[in-house]
Amino acid sequence: MVELVAIQMTSTPDVQENLDAVATHLAQLEPHKDRLVVLPECFARFGCRDRDQLAIAEEQDQGIIQQRLSELAREHQCYMVSGTFPMQSDETDKFAASCLLYGPEGERVAAYQKIHLFDVSVNDSTGSYQESRFTKPGEHVVVADTPIGKIGLAVCYDVRFPGLFEAMGDIDILVLPAAFTQHTGEAHWHTLVRARAIEKQCFVVAANQTGVHANGRETFGHSVIYSPWGDTLAELGEATGIARCQVDISEREELKQNIPVQAHNRFRSHFV
């Protein structure tokens, strides 16, 4: 059995405060050798100007954020998805929104950079979002083959682009760190995340930001874990906390045999 965990946070502009919040949440979990923990998007710094993320952008495998995450994964002997935090790119005025997967020994197993950037207008207190102004989009689809299953990595706005998930091929678990706005979350969060579980016939762990942040931005919460059939296995409301459940990854096999979607698919992504 694999335990899936989504941590829901109201992250602040203070990096240390947010890292300590992650540690506090993890301290509530009893030991489990096969556990996957997923943090939300922008877990390390949120509620500030996008340009402020540049100040904490880290080099690969260096910096306090990566060091602490590695230590926490090793301490709790779990797989951990870092949500996102800024890492340096080859453009000095832009960072990469990086989502790292750490293993139980604290090792970096995989690294994904958010591909689809949130450049939209929303009918909320923020109004206009221009993520690409300070963020460089990623280019690579990332799937990590681990002892607990094949894990596909995606972030927030990515969920609206099903071609990305087709390009992942067969996966056991999809992780989706997010900072979905209150307005778009109310309309689309559950529909989009559940659709990805059903179409991929995989478990989905979607960890969201929640509440009102320091700059007035509002996020939706409702971190959720779905089964390959689309059943809700665990969900939070608007409070910070942990959504968790234990699953048998092998249950996917019967579903794939009974409804062989991949075999029937007549349209293949050029990434596959």
Residue written as token pair 């998930």: 165
Indicate the pLDDT class of residue 271, thresholds 50, 70 and 90: low
Cα separation of 122 and 201, whole Å?
31
Q: Does residue 268 carry a pLDDT above 80? A: no
Helix and strand numbers, DSSP H then E, in the chain: 7, 17
List pLDDT tens digits, range 152-163. Answer: 999 999 999 999
What's the pLDDT score for residue 272?
47
**How confident is the model over 111-137, as a mean pLDDT?**
91
The answer on pLDDT for 269 being more than 80 is no
Distance CA 159, CA 195 (A): 9
198-228: pLDDT as tens digits: 999 999 999 999 999 999 999 999 999 999 9
Contact assessment for residue 63 and residue 88, using Cβ atoms and an 8 Å cutoff? no
What is the DSSP code string of 65-83?
HHHHHHHHHHHHT-EEE--
Task: Give the pLDDT band of residue 95 (cuts 50, 70, 90).
Answer: very high
- Reported in sequence order, the residue ranges of 91-172 that DSSP labels E, i.e. its strands, are 95-102, 108-113, 119-121, 128-130, 143-146, 149-153
What's the whole-number mean pLDDT along residues 136-150?
A: 98
- What are the φ/ψ torsions at residue 92 (nearest 5 degrees)? -65, -25
pLDDT exceeds cutoff 70 at 132? yes
- Interior CA angle at 16 toward 13 and 18, to 5°? 65
CA dihedral over 61, 67, 69, 72, signed as positive or negative: positive
Lowest mean pLDDT among 134-143, 238-247, 259-268: 259-268
Task: For residue 112, give Cα distances in angstroms to 82, 99, 228, 230.
Answer: 10, 5, 23, 25
What confidence tens digit (pLDDT) does each residue in 31-78 have? 888 999 999 999 999 999 888 999 999 999 999 999 999 999 999 999
Contact 67, 85 (CB under 8 A): no
**Predicted confidence (pLDDT) at residue 257 exceeds the cutoff of 70:** yes
The predicted model gives 112-117 an average pLDDT of: 98
Q: What is the mean pLDDT of residues 241-266?
A: 95
Distances, alpha carbon 80 to alpha carbons 171, 176, 268, in Å = 17, 12, 31
**What is the DSSP code string of 171-197?**
-SEEEEEE--BHHHIIIIIHHHHHHHH
Distance of CA 183 to the CA centre of its chain: 19
CATH class of 2-264: alpha beta
Higher pLDDT, 263 or 156: 156
Lowest mean pLDDT among 118-132, 168-182, 252-266: 118-132
Closest CA to 113 of 92, 99, 101: 99
CA distance 42 to 126: 17
* pTM for the full predicted model: 0.96
* Catalytic residue IDs: 41, 114, 156
